[in-house]
Amino acid sequence: MSNMVMVLAAIAVSAASGLPSLLSRSRAGQVASALVLGAGALVGVAGLIPVFGPSSPISLVAEWGLPWGGFSVGLDALGGIFLLPVFIIPTLAAIYGLGYRDVRDHPEGGRGFDVFYGLFVAGMALVVVARDATLFLLAWEAMALSSWFVASAESDKAEVRRAGWVYLVATHIGTLLLFAMFSLWKASTGSFALVSAVAMAPGTAGMIFVLALAGFGLKAGLVPLHMWLPGAHANAPSNVSAVMSGVMIKLGVYGILRMTSLMPRPELWWGWTLLALGCLTGFAGIAWATGQADIKRVLAYSSVENIGIVAMGGGLALLGRSLGRPTLILLGMGGALFHVWNHGLFKSLLFMDAGLVIHETGTRRLESLGGLLKRMPVAAALFAVGAIAISALPPLNGFAGEWLIYLGFFRGVSAGTGPGLPAAAAGAAVLASIGALAVAAFVRVFGTVFLGSPRSPSPSKKGNASRRSAEWLMTAPMLLLVLACIVVGLAPGLVLPAIGAAAAEWGGLRNEGLTLVGLADFSWTLPLALALLVLASGIYGLFVLSARRGRKTARPTWDCGYAEPTPRMQYGASSFSEFLGRSLSFVAVRIRKSEPPEGAFPATGSFSSKAPDPVLDLAIRPLASLARRLMPGMRFLQKGQTQLYLAYILVATVILLALGAATS
Amino acid sequence: MALAMIFLPLLLAGVAALVPSNGLRPWLLPLAGLAHFAMLVSILARPDLADWSPVAGTGALLGLDPLGTIVLAVVSLLFLFASFYSVGYLHHRMDRPNRVFVAGLLGFLGFASVVAWSRHLGLSWVAIEATTLTTAPLIYFNHSKRSIEATWKYLLVGSVGIALALLGTFFLAYSALKAGLPASMDFDTLSMNAALLSKPWLRAAFILALVGYGTKMGLAPMHTWKPDAYGEAPGVVGAIFAGGVTSIAFLAFLRFYIVVGKAGEAAFASRLLLPMGLLSMAVAGVFMIGQRDFKRMLAYSSVEHMGILMIGLGVGAPALFGTMLHVVTNAMTKGVLFLSAGNIHRAFASKSTDKVRGALRRLPLSASFFLAAFFAITGSPPFGPFVSEFSIISAAFGSGYSIAAALLLAFLFVIFVGMGRTVFKVLQGRPPTAESLGGQGVYRDNVLTIAPIAMLMAIVLVLGLWIPAPLGALLRSAAFSIGGGS
Amino acid sequence: MILNLFALGTSRINSVIRIVAVQGALLGPVPLLLHGAEGISGASVLAAAAAVALKGLAIPAIMRRSLRAADIKREVEPFVGFLPSVLLGAAGTAVALVFSTRMGSGGGAGSNLIIPAAIATVLVGFIILTTRWKALSQVIGYLVLENGIFVFGMLLVEAIPFVVEMGVLLDLFVGIFVISIITNHINEAFSSMDTRELASLKE
Amino acid sequence: MIDIIIRYLLFLLFPPVMLGIVNRVKAIFAGRKGQPILQTWRDIAKLARKEIVLSSTTTWVFLAGPAVGLATMLIAGSLIPFGPFRSPLGFTGDLILFAYLFGLARFFTTSAALDTGSAFEGMGASREVTFAFLTEPALFLALLSLAKLSGSLDLNGVLLGPAGGFSPTTVAPLVLVALALSIVVLAECSRIPVDDPNTHLELTMIHEVMVLDHSGPLLGAITYAASLKFFILSTLLLHVVTPPSTGIAALDWLLFAAELVALSVGVGVIESIMARFRMRRVPWFLTGALLCSGSAFVLLVR
């Protein structure tokens, strides 16, 4: 109970955290807001820790002025998993934001930004603790709207406005679908209270599942419902993108998991649907990511991919539940939840890092970046770690998470015969392919941004003291995140019990002998990491030694003896992904425009390729414009003739009378 | 009390006609508003309100039941805020004589009170027709060609519609006569022996009332006058129309619905109401997509919400609470929308999205309220309309009208898109410079034109989070008096 | 009720006004006749008198004035020709008869005559409203419509309290008054009474 | 214990010899006498003595590439059982780690290639990462099929499991798996027909073109790592195609070595009789591997 109060207090504090900077729109106010937010987060985390223990879920119901439902909130391990990032990451992002969007440099966007940022955080936290549909919707929309506000902070740019609009529309459809979902929920359970339903008509349950999948999937960014995600993430300020991608979209996943855990035994097709969607989302997401020309769009699409991985784990767990296989429930759900945490860590890290790059060079275009490692070594190192982690490569946390899901798939194979469960394990192959593509995508970004030599003379900003402090403010949170990635990667055992508890709770296995810790033995991670470290650094040391021996003469890359390799001859981002793109053309559309050089001494020659979003740019936008062209077609009904209007009245009367006569 | 609430405004209207000073006259509005509101409060304080029971057969013309109270409260509140606002507005429009304008507003308040109090369908009709006539000059305030046209259409379409309502009223009375009862237009008598009334005439009466009062509410396809009137009238008038006129027309229609329901014809009614409501929403959606004039857009939004009310009635008992609540929340939100839209209109001297840009920069306060009200009216938590709309939707799903509910949601989405495109064109981006707007008295927010909006918005917000117990009780008994249940 | 058809037929607005006036004047005392001696109370007499005064004299006067203001004599090329509209009117009357029989009339004394008459008049009013271009003819249409409703009202004089009946009449009167004011404004603003000019507001 | 020692001696010393064998076989096919079997070792030793030439564009990543590449191979080598001999440090789920270690190596080697800022290296890196997204799932499906057969979750169990249970039903899948794995070997170890280790036409190369600018010890490390990779994957393949163990340790070791030699010869033969695919065609070839292991998997779970 007391922790519940603490968490609620934390929510209240973060909701109010914007006030200082609203009252005094000065640097001091901005700093104060960040501090208040941080304080709230600390309280919240403190209140949160116990829920992962053996303690049973806490809940609290208070009377509420709305005609139905009460102000009922609850805390449990499943919620805790999602609540922890909600409290931690936005705080880090806020500190980062102090350097990234100094209110003195952004007077216009400054107004209200921190207010909505605070509301955003509070909304997300409330979503997780809400145990009543109305309260949930309230929190949900608070989250959606405030996130829209902070995401379109730079709404002077038309591009930002467009992206913001798409996001707003998408999130509104989501909310309407949730209206329907919760209405059905009430219709079948008799109340808006979100407590596990004992029995439910299969038809209704299936309908609710589909609606939840659609409504929450929009927020989570399941393909093809991801259309808002890349634009919104790319055009939001980087500290906001970090929170949106690292935390907010996970709450879509949370919604799906919460509803499925509340409903009685799921039907088989639910698990299949979620698994299939997960595979599609993961593969398509990363395939699209490899083609993007904008560093933040790459990260955004990779978020789609990661959501897909989480969904795969969830689907596996659902299958496990409907087939009554605890091992699959624990491994699948455990992997999903673990990945939720991991993605929160490294994706926010990467977005912050991208922000650092943008802050330094002022561009998001990969083609005009390059060779930044020499200029910003720390950022490069951090990005490298993040990239390895997000490509799920050992020995970092990304691998630890996916390892659980893989284990689940392999268990699925060895478990039982006949089609069905083993077939699901084919997901492992998809996951492997996703992993390989992730490596491709992030080598591409890391290579084009930090390695090689600069592709365009980027404006070198004067290094004054305030900028130093800004960089320091931005780097510190990233260091923490990297540290977390490494620690979790080396010793997953530290967090496994919490995740296991949550997974067990989701599957209703809270008090059974089988635990995730028992299923997944992570004792190998540390030795492996050490071995890698020792070997690699040893070899590296040898190289350095022999390099010392060599004559120190700086010479350009040999490059098969090219006379003058210029930066513009480097393999750019689009050329890097060209071959990959061609082999992925079955899922990733690429629009190429090229005029090859003609003749012996070609004057000109050009090639350009861009990767539109298949769903948004090739499906939705055309449909929308079609609708815009058709709608006015019906306007002839109202051309201003009074006589016509009066005729309408007569006609309406006659028709209604006819109707009335017919129905009587 | 009743007579005071009715005649004080009318009296003041007379005074307004006499007061010579263009500057002083507007202050009569807040005076009336405050007095009216004070009387309302004293009524609300009355304990026996929630369990009000009609005294049938007495042929008493006046009496205030929960339904009437709600509508009266809505009208009174809206008028109170609108009155202060219009003082600010009229001080900004000193160029135009406002004698007729002020008198018209006051007259509307008086006759609206009559509708709320009336126990007699004929009387209700008379009062509503009277509001039509008193509000017509309000639309005509600007004396431009366009405003004449709007007024003309409003008068003609409105009067014809209302005439049908009168015919419907007569039909109802005749249905009693036909059943051998003494022909009566006394609501309580009718609803008491509703079961005996002759069915065909009752149904015909209901349909005529639906068309007639539907015209006044602005249900498609009788809504045609609405965008013109709302578009040409000053914002404050739009607020009064969308919040007040529609509510009293809805009340008058409710009287018929109650009788029909009491006669056991609720199923018949909902068979007509659901299509009407959905049609209104569809039409609103079609005309909102790509709407350039943001005041006309608001008019269509009003059409949409009248449709939602109809759907709520059509769903029946479980949705009635939400429907009555929606009357309140919609009125309040529309108030915010129209008043802030009026400010924006003033500031840019245009109401077309081709000219209006970056209102958030130019008029931070008005624009912010406009934005908030946009989110509210499209049913986003945590605002009042969310509570009412969501309860209607869930009731619809709950009582087997799933298809209607799904359509409702679909239309809500289309309308959100249509409305949003216009709203954001208006709000975002870079505003044109004051010079390019032609310096003529460039408008800036002042306390008289902002405070009322802020208060209305506060009400909308509160209703989204917490419904005061007395209001809840009132709504509940109102819902019960309409059709039992919930 | 043949007057209705005349109203449709003639092209001279002036005469139409006269017809409507006569119609109104005739309608005034009808309730008294309907209810014979016992029905005659002070109230009803007063009501009847008022009706005659307003419909027979006042309104036509107003309309004539505005007619003179906008000196136009005849409804040129209406939306639907005169003969067709007469036929329409006839059809409307037929419909009215069918309707009233289907509804099953025959309650009060003259009801089986009055109901179809009323409905027919309403329909005719609608026809005028929807087929005439001139603002003033539309006003007339509205008036005819109201007359029709008033005819129906005959059936239930005793149901309508004095206040209400007065209210109805007053409303009607003021309505016509306001409308004619507007028509004058229209005339000034658009220098014609042709409602086709009034189509700038759409969508 | 003795097995462990033999194991590591074999693992650390033999791989370059295998490359030597391959080259020798190719030479013989080409009608030349060919280089000595130990040539690769000599190259490595020579390179180790040479100095490192660093381009001015490069950074620490350039050195990290070969280092991590070699380290990962060394670890992967100690995860997989050789012949009938269990790996020293097997654990549940190590096969996933095994597969992902190659990913880690790929990340660093390709990054190192991009670090030079040269178009050729970029091209090579691009191709390297492209093929992985087809070979990885093929490898995993193969592992899944084996896991299905053995019902085990660690490399030892998975790879040593099926050796016992040859049954008519499992023959067809096993053949398919073997096919898939051999394609994976050819691709991952950048042999013909996917890649040509000793062409000098940069535009056609994958692995070689990535390391154009690595010199001296770096190149040596890379070559050595490549040979280790070849060794490891061959071992993996051998597990599927070879007869069960005899039971006598010494004999088994000899047998294993012989198998390795045989496989190297086989690769040599393939390289000699086949031509490189055009780069565009390679994905289809790899898709073939995917199909093989996929159908094997389907056969098994059917």
Residue of chain B whose Cα is closest to the Cα of A644: B224
Residue ranges making up the domain that contains C36: 2-193
Whether B468 has its CB under 8 Å from any CB of chain A: the answer is yes
Residue of chain A whose Cα is closest to the Cα of B430: A156
DSSP A388-434: HHHTT-TTSHHHHHHHHHHHHHHHHHHS-SSSSHHHHTHHHHHHHHH
Instruction: Tell if the CB–CB gap between C200 and A650 is shorter than 8 Å.
Output: no
At residue B485, the pLDDT reads 44
Q: Which of A239, A241, A235, A101 is nearest to A157 (CA)?
A: A235
In terms of C-beta density within 10 A (0-12 exposed, 13-18 middle, 19 or more buried), how is residue B195 classed? exposed
Instruction: Indicate which of A283, A385, A430, A540 best probes the interface with D, i.e. most D CBs within 10 Å of its own CB.
Output: A540
**D136 chain-A contacts, CB cut-off 8 A:** 432-433, 435-436
- What is the domain count for chain D? 1
Helices (H) and strands (E) counted in chain A, each on its own, are 27, 4
Residue of chain A whose Cα is closest to the Cα of D221: A539
Instruction: Tell if the CB–CB gap between B183 and C159 is shorter than 8 Å.
Output: yes
Inside any domain, residue C163: yes
CA distance A370 to A454: 4
Higher pLDDT, A2 or A126: A126
Whether C186 has its CB under 8 Å from any CB of chain B: the answer is yes
Q: Which of A10, A409, A90 is nearest to A251 (CA)?
A: A90
Q: How far is D284 from chain A (nearest CA, A)?
A: 9
Inside any domain, residue B318: yes
Inside any domain, residue B308: yes
Does D163 score more than 60 pLDDT? no
Whether A640 has its CB under 8 Å from any CB of chain C: the answer is yes
Instruction: Tell if the CB–CB gap between B174 and C164 is shorter than 8 Å.
Output: no
Q: How far is B38 from chain C (nearest CA, A)?
A: 28
Most confident stretch, A198-207, A429-438, D166-175:
A429-438
pLDDT tens digit string along D46-65?
A: 999 888 888 888 899 999 99
Does D10 score more than 60 pLDDT? yes
Instruction: Indicate which of D56, D100, D210 best probes the interface with A, i.e. most A CBs within 10 Å of its own CB.
Output: D100
Which of C102, C126, C199 has its CB closest to that of A646? C126
Q: What CA–CA distances, in Å, run from A296 to A223, A302, A446, B55?
A: 18, 10, 13, 71
Instruction: Tell if the CB–CB gap between B211 and A134 is shorter than 8 Å.
Output: no
**A661 chain-C contacts, CB cut-off 8 A:** 102
Inside any domain, residue C203: no
Give D 262-281 residues with CB within 8 A of chain A.
Answer: 279-280
Instruction: Write out the two tokens for C16.
Output: 């139409």
Give B 119-138 residues with CB within 8 A of chain A.
Answer: none
A252, A314 Cβ separation under 8 angstroms: no
Most confident stretch, A61-65, A196-200, A338-342, B230-234:
A338-342
Instruction: Tell if the CB–CB gap between C159 and B184 is shorter than 8 Å.
Output: yes
At residue B486, the pLDDT reads 35
Least confident of A22-31, A492-501, B284-293, C112-121: C112-121
Inside any domain, residue C20: yes
Whether B41 has its CB under 8 Å from any CB of chain A: the answer is no
A515, D84 Cβ separation under 8 angstroms: no
Instruction: Tell if the CB–CB gap between B391 and A140 is shorter than 8 Å.
Output: no
pLDDT tens digit string along C111-170?
A: 667 788 888 888 888 888 888 777 777 888 888 888 888 878 777 766 666 666 777 777
Inside any domain, residue C199: no
Which of D66, D103, D148 has its CB closest to that of A414? D148
Residue of chain A whose Cα is closest to the Cα of C197: A641
In terms of C-beta density within 10 A (0-12 exposed, 13-18 middle, 19 or more buried), how is residue C66 classed? buried
Residue of chain D whose Cα is closest to the Cα of A421: D301
**Phi and psi at residue A60, in whole multiples of 5°?**
-150, 125
Residue of chain A whose Cα is closest to the Cα of D69: A536
CA distance A284 to A278: 10
Inside any domain, residue C181: yes
At residue C136, the pLDDT reads 77
Residues with Cβ within 8 Å of C150's Cβ and at least 6 positions away in sequence, in order, are C27, C51, C168
Beta bridge mates, B62: B118
Q: Is the dihedral of CA A648, B128, B304, A186 positive or negative?
A: negative
Beta bridge mates, A71: A62
Whether B290 has its CB under 8 Å from any CB of chain A: the answer is yes
Give B 160-189 residues with CB within 8 A of chain C.
Answer: 160, 163, 166-167, 170-171, 173-174, 176-178, 182-185
Instruction: Using a threshold of 3 CB pairs under 8 A, tell whether chains D and C touch.
Output: no
pTM above 0.80, yes or no: yes
Does A134 score more than 80 pLDDT? yes
Instruction: Indicate which of A172, A178, A625 best probes the interface with B, i.e. most B CBs within 10 Å of its own CB.
Output: A172
Does A373 score more than 90 pLDDT? yes
At residue D278, the pLDDT reads 82
Q: How far is B279 from chain C (nearest CA, A)?
A: 16
Which of A394, A433, A539 has its CB closest to that of D136? A433
Instruction: Indicate which of B58, B132, B145, B146 best probes the interface with C, i.e. most C CBs within 10 Å of its own CB.
Output: B145
Instruction: Indicate which of A22, A25, A64, A66 best probes the interface with B, i.e. most B CBs within 10 Å of its own CB.
Output: A66
Instruction: Indicate which of A405, A560, A566 best probes the interface with D, i.e. most D CBs within 10 Å of its own CB.
Output: A560
Instruction: Tell if the CB–CB gap between A451 and D54 is shorter than 8 Å.
Output: no
At residue A474, the pLDDT reads 93
pLDDT tens digit string along C71-98?
A: 665 555 556 666 777 777 788 888 887 7
Inside any domain, residue C92: yes
**B379 chain-A contacts, CB cut-off 8 A:** 176, 179
Residue of chain B whose Cα is closest to the Cα of C112: B178
Across the range A376-380, mean pLDDT stands at 94
Residue ranges making up the domain that contains B371: 271-322+342-435
- What is the domain count for chain B? 1
Instruction: Tell if the CB–CB gap between C130 and A638 is shorter than 8 Å.
Output: no
- In this structure, the strands spanning A606-610 and A58-62 are unpaired
Residue ranges making up the domain that contains D64: 2-301
Q: Is the dihedral of CA D264, D265, D266, D272 positive or negative?
A: positive
Instruction: Tell if the CB–CB gap between B61 and C163 is shorter than 8 Å.
Output: yes
Inside any domain, residue C172: yes
Instruction: Tell if the CB–CB gap between A419 and D104 is shorter than 8 Å.
Output: no
CA distance A466 to A470: 6
Instruction: Tell if the CB–CB gap between B224 and A632 is shorter than 8 Å.
Output: no
The alpha-carbon radius of gyration of chain A (Å, integer) is 27
Instruction: Tell if the CB–CB gap between B200 and A66 is shorter than 8 Å.
Output: no
The ipTM (two decimal places) reads 0.92
At residue C178, the pLDDT reads 74
At residue C151, the pLDDT reads 79
Instruction: Tell if the CB–CB gap between B167 and C155 is shorter than 8 Å.
Output: no
Sequential pLDDT tens for chain B (486 residues): 778 888 899 999 999 988 888 888 999 999 999 999 999 998 888 766 555 555 555 667 788 888 999 999 999 999 999 999 999 999 888 888 888 899 999 999 999 999 999 988 989 999 999 999 899 889 988 888 888 889 888 988 998 999 999 999 989 988 888 888 887 888 888 888 888 888 888 999 999 999 999 999 999 889 999 999 999 999 999 999 999 999 999 999 999 999 999 998 889 999 999 999 999 999 999 888 888 899 999 999 999 999 999 999 999 889 999 999 999 999 999 999 999 999 999 888 888 988 898 888 888 899 999 999 999 999 998 899 999 999 999 999 999 899 999 999 999 999 999 999 999 999 988 887 766 665 555 778 888 899 999 999 999 999 998 888 889 888 998 999 888 643
Instruction: Tell if the CB–CB gap between A647 and C138 is shorter than 8 Å.
Output: no
Q: Is the dihedral of CA C163, C169, C172, C173 positive or negative?
A: negative
At residue A425, the pLDDT reads 78
Inside any domain, residue B278: yes
At residue A313, the pLDDT reads 96
Instruction: Tell if the CB–CB gap between A576 and D126 is shorter than 8 Å.
Output: yes
Q: Say how many CA atoms lie within 13 Å of B447 toward its Cβ.
A: 0
Least confident of A436-450, A530-544, A557-571: A557-571
Inside any domain, residue C198: no
Instruction: Tell if the CB–CB gap between C201 and B123 is shorter than 8 Å.
Output: no
Least confident of A367-376, A562-571, B210-219, B436-445: B436-445
- What is the domain count for chain C? 1
pLDDT tens digit string along A294-325?
A: 999 999 999 999 999 999 999 999 999 988 88
B384, B376 Cβ separation under 8 angstroms: yes
B111, B244 Cβ separation under 8 angstroms: no
- Return the C-alpha torsion angle C179, C184, C187, C192, nearest 10: 60
